[in-house]
Amino acid sequence: MRRGRVFLYLSLIMVLLVVGGYFLYQNFLKPDTTSVGAPAEVAVPDRVDIVVITQKAPRGTVLNETVLGLISLPRDLLISGMFTDLAQVVGRQAKFDLDSGIPLTVNMLVDSAAQLSDAGSVAALSIPEGMVAKAIPISRLASISYALRPGDRVVVIASMQFIDLDADFQTRLPNQTALLIGTSIMLGADSGTNALAAHATLEDYYTYDGRIDELDGIQEEKVYVIPSESQRPRLATQIIIPSATVLHVGNFSFSDGSLGAGELPAPEPTPIAAEGEIVAPAVEEPPDNITLIVSPQEAVNLTYLIDSGVEISLALRSAGDSTVIDTKTVTMQFFLDDYSIPLPGKLPYGLAPRVDEVPNSGNSTGESEAIP
């Protein structure tokens, strides 16, 4: 009986110890989950992305993703006029020079070149750095029948005519000479028997410098030969600029400067005819000049050729063609050799009727050109 009571007392003591330990743990030993282990809640400020320029952009630069970026900014610092989307800026132009890192605003950009400030020409905005614009004269055939438009790339070809000059006089050969003997003239430079004596008046004091030659089949018969015409130039044609970009065709508008590079002025309004009156349609005048984007040295070369009277023509390149062009200078000898054209022989017969002229298909008037 006493053993049962002892066991009961021990059980009560164990229950009290467990309850006391649990109470002690809950009130004094359990970690505070409200202050340790769980991070305190922090208020996150509202932020927004704004568009900035990431590299220096000169006036007139067309902005794209390569020069634009986004930075985060607290919304309370956002200023009216800032851009929050790249799509709002791409394709627009810098109104003035912009430095890297500047947040863009609406007053820094324009939608087109015509909206830029009056400082400088609109055409200059289309010229890459290090290049220049040079205007040259054109004709129908020299400009691919007026097919050229701004942005086309062309090949510039020059046709030069060479002649022999007297190095001292810088005049066309042959020289005009005469040998004066008293009041008469001895033509040529040879002595008595081999020269042609002419008792001419001093008003006819010169003739073309000729040469003494023999008649065919007749020995010891000397004649004095002079040219039948002035010296014929020798033609040489070659590409001088393999790739130049067309900036504008014809004259630029100078009335208000509002036209962009390559834009054409609006056509004149068609006059309204009175009742019963017939008004002839306005005739469009073809352009007589074209402006090309070339290097400074190429601009100097073009100026020299134009001032020298050299014929310049253009050939249109294919869009996107980056082939390196390498051509040979064409002369009469090169043409005959390259196309294996033999020199026509002198035959004792010919075609009838006689033909002294051939039609010139390139002549707009349809007239024939005489064979010189």
Per-residue pLDDT of the chain (372 residues; tens, 9 = 90+): 556 566 666 666 776 676 666 666 666 666 665 555 555 566 667 888 889 999 888 877 888 888 898 888 888 888 888 888 888 889 888 887 788 888 888 888 888 776 765 556 778 877 888 899 999 999 999 999 999 999 999 999 999 999 999 898 898 888 776 555 555 545 544 444 333 444 333 334 445 566 666 666 666 666 667 777 888 899 999 999 999 999 999 998 765 444 444 444 455 555 565 666 666 666 778 999 999 999 999 999 999 999 999 999 999 999 888 899 999 999 999 999 999 999 989 999 988 988 888 876 555 444 444 444
Residue 113 neighbours by CB distance under 10 Å: 20
Given a contact cutoff of 8 angstroms between Cβ atoms, the answer to whether 112 and 263 are in contact is no
Give, as one character, the DSSP assignment of residue 195: S
Given a contact cutoff of 8 angstroms between Cβ atoms, the answer to whether 317 and 153 are in contact is yes
Write down the domain spans for the chain. 47-118, 120-162+232-261+285-361, 165-225
- What token pair was written down for 217? 């089949």
What are the Cα distances from residue 51, in Å, to 56, 79, 101, 106, 132?
A: 14, 12, 10, 11, 33
Question: In whole angstroms, what is the distance from residue 92 CA to residue 279 CA?
Answer: 44
- Can you name the residues that pair with 359 across neighbouring β-strands? 368
**Radius of gyration (C-alpha) of the chain in whole angstroms:** 46
Q: Tell me the CATH number for domain 47-118.
A: 3.90.1210.10
Question: In whole angstroms, what is the distance from residue 195 CA to residue 211 CA?
Answer: 10
End-to-end CA distance of the chain: 157
Residue 249's φ and ψ, nearest 5 degrees, are: -115, 125
- Nearest CA to 252 out of 139, 133, 118 is that of 133
- Nearest CA to 314 out of 178, 149, 180, 167 is that of 149
Question: In whole angstroms, what is the distance from residue 146 CA to residue 286 CA?
Answer: 8
- 208 SS3 class: strand
pTM: 0.58
Which residues of 163-205 form beta strands (DSSP E)? 165-166, 171-172, 176-177, 179-181, 184-187, 196-198
